[in-house]
Amino acid sequence: MVKTTRPLAQFEAMAQRLVEGSFGRFLGGQLAPAEITGQLLRAVEDSQQGGYVANVYQLFLAADDLAVVDETLPGRLADVVRQVVAQSGRVATGEIALRLLADDRLRRGQFWVQALHEREEEDTTVVQTADAQFTDRVLQALDAFVIVDGRRHIALTRPLMTIGRQVENDIVVESPLVSRQHAHLRWRYGHFVLYDVGSRGGTLVNGNPVQEWVLRPGDVIMLAGRVPLIYGEGLERREELPPRPEGEQDTMVYPRLS
């Protein structure tokens, strides 16, 4: 008998109810519970392999955020994942667990989630650091960049690059038409993905309005209809990128937007 599964989007409201109220204080006040649970559900769904979903979820936080979260948080988030997996009709590779880890590339409020298929006999000590190191190697080999307004060449050296008028952004665009936090670039599934984050002036790619776009070399991003950014990659052949270690999912980076 084939087990029926239900889309995990149906369980997002339930997951948010599980973390409402006092749960926010376990996150130290800088991280939004709904954002974290939402991205955990996406990680569960994306991790499906051969009829199983991942059983280990690693939540990478900025060091300052990790220092103030409550020690019971991993267990509480694991309970949320466990309930959603069970009620959606899915089966995990093994016992579901959640780990909190620091990533010194992140600023406060930013995080990313990694889903792993781990079995008890595996040595997990190396696994915890391998993905961040792998991502660094890939980004270095890819040599991705944007050219802002035809003048500034900015290398995309991190798996999350924020774009906007505020000086705290990774890519600062000094135009009154550009929102303080206008867009961001996430490294996801082997590509940089552009996301408009609710900007006032909107974002175009190759003349088309977008909310989300998988970037290819030569794509022209237009912020608020006025400021062009051209995306490029120094590596000519993607086949030369380092292969991902077996059993790991692609890096997913999600910022908290204020």
Higher pLDDT among residues 198 and 200, named by residue: 200
Q: Are residues 87 and 154 in the same domain?
A: no
What pLDDT is recorded for position 257?
37
Q: Which of 38-42, 202-206, 215-219 has the lowest mean pLDDT?
A: 38-42
Strand order in the sheet with 220-223: 152-155, 144-148, 227-233, 220-223, 203-205, 208-209
What pLDDT is recorded for position 252?
46
Average pLDDT, the chain: 80
In a domain, 136, yes or no: no
Q: How confident is the model at residue 11 (pLDDT cuts 50, 70, 90)?
A: low
Q: Where are the alpha helices (DSSP H) in 57-117?
A: 63-68, 73-87
CATH (domain of 71): 3.30.2320.60
The arithmetic mean of pLDDT across residues 33-40, rounded, is 80
In a domain, 241, yes or no: no
Count CB atoms within 10 A of the CB of residue 105: 17
What pLDDT is recorded for position 127?
45
In a domain, 17, yes or no: yes
In a domain, 205, yes or no: yes
Contact status, residue 40 vs residue 57, Cβ threshold 8 Å: yes
In a domain, 116, yes or no: yes
Q: Are residues 93 and 169 in the same domain?
A: no
Query: What is the pTM (predicted TM-score) of this model?
Result: 0.53
Amino acid at 55: N
Q: Are residues 181 and 99 in the same domain?
A: no
What pLDDT is recorded for position 161?
87
What is the domain range of residue 115?
8-125+247-255
In a domain, 210, yes or no: yes
Enter the tokens of residue 149: 């307004």
Q: Percentage of the chain surpassing pLDDT 70? A: 77
Q: Are residues 82 and 190 in the same domain?
A: no
Note the pLDDT tens digit of each residue in 134-179: 788 889 999 999 999 999 999 999 888 889 998 878 899 999 999 9
Chain-centroid distance, C-alpha 82? 21
How far is Cα 200 from Cα 123, in angstroms, rounded to an integer?
A: 48
**Number of domains forming the structure of the chain:** 2
In a domain, 160, yes or no: yes
Note the pLDDT tens digit of each residue in 39-97: 888 888 888 877 788 899 989 888 888 888 877 888 888 888 888 888 888 888 888 88
Enter the tokens of residue 75: 């267990």
Q: Are residues 120 and 150 in the same domain?
A: no
